[in-house]
Amino acid sequence: MGAKDKRHKAYRRGHSAERLAAFAVALKGYRIVDRRYRTKLGEIDLIARRGNIVLIIEVKARRTLQQAMDSVNPLAMGRIEAAADQWLARQPDHDRLSLRFDLVAILPWRWPVHVPAIFIA
């Protein structure tokens, strides 16, 4: 398998993981308002909202929960936070919204694990 094939497989796996994560979060009563929100500064996998609470969700498909949590390193946190700031600035009710940075871990043969407040901005 060539490098291009591996990238394509990883891309498809990422999309599948994000769809499953979005479904799991929606079952908790959140509305998915954006997917793969991209800026020059970073990307947010999922943005979900319930009332004035906005979840900025990083989705990680890993073998263990610990590996998923460890993969959200300080560099990733900075990029996610920068993208979240840009998204928030574009919302007409931004002054009322409360952001929370969550993780949804997609683990083999398990329901997605939602970890609230994986980091504080």
Predicted model pTM = 0.92
For residue 32 the two structure tokens come to: 């998915």
pLDDT per residue of the chain (121 residues) written in tens, 0 to 9: 788 888 888 778 888 999 999 999 999 999 999 999 999 999 999 999 999 999 999 999 999 999 999 999 999 999 999 999 999 999 999 999 999 999 999 999 999 999 999 999 8
Domain architecture of the chain: domains with CATH: 3-119 (3.40.1350.10)
**CA-CA distance, 89 to 115, in Å (whole number)?**
25
According to DSSP H, which parts of 28-118 are helical? 65-70, 74-89
At position 68, the amino acid (one-letter code) is: A
**CA-CA distance, 102 to 9, in Å (whole number)?**
25
